[in-house]
A = this chain, B = another copy of it.
Amino acid sequence: MESLDSFLVQTFARNLKRLRSKAGMSQEELALKSGLDRTYVSGCERGVRNPSLVSVEKVASALGVRVEELFVGAS
């Protein structure tokens, strides 16, 4: 699948990957904790998914970070 050309989506993707790694979690663990599918998390990190706020909230909660953290670098 092709990655989306939205700057916000790509920023979210990078931060998600960064924060998940920092937390020492695998995509699979994050998926489990957030109640999302492993392949969906994968798609979000690659910037090929355009998640809704409800999905954003789920991963932020699972990572134990504030939502703003997932958007750092978005101007």
Chain A residues close to B by CB (< 8 Å): 4, 6-9, 12, 50-54, 56-57, 60, 66-68, 71, 74-75
Give the docked Cα–Cα distance between A39 and B46 (Å): 32
Determine chain A's interface SS by DSSP, over half rule: helix
Number of copies: 2
Q: A7 and B57 in contact (CB under 8 A), knowing A52-B50, A68-B68?
A: yes
Seed contacts A6-B53, A7-B57; 9 additional CB < 8 Å A-B pairs? A4-B54, A8-B57, A9-B53, A9-B54, A51-B52, A51-B53, A52-B52, A53-B56, A68-B68
Q: Give 23 CB contacts A-B under 8 Å.
A: A4-B54, A6-B54, A6-B57, A7-B57, A8-B53, A8-B56, A8-B67, A9-B53, A9-B57, A12-B53, A50-B53, A50-B54, A51-B53, A52-B52, A52-B53, A53-B56, A66-B74, A67-B71, A67-B74, A67-B75, A68-B68, A68-B74, A71-B71
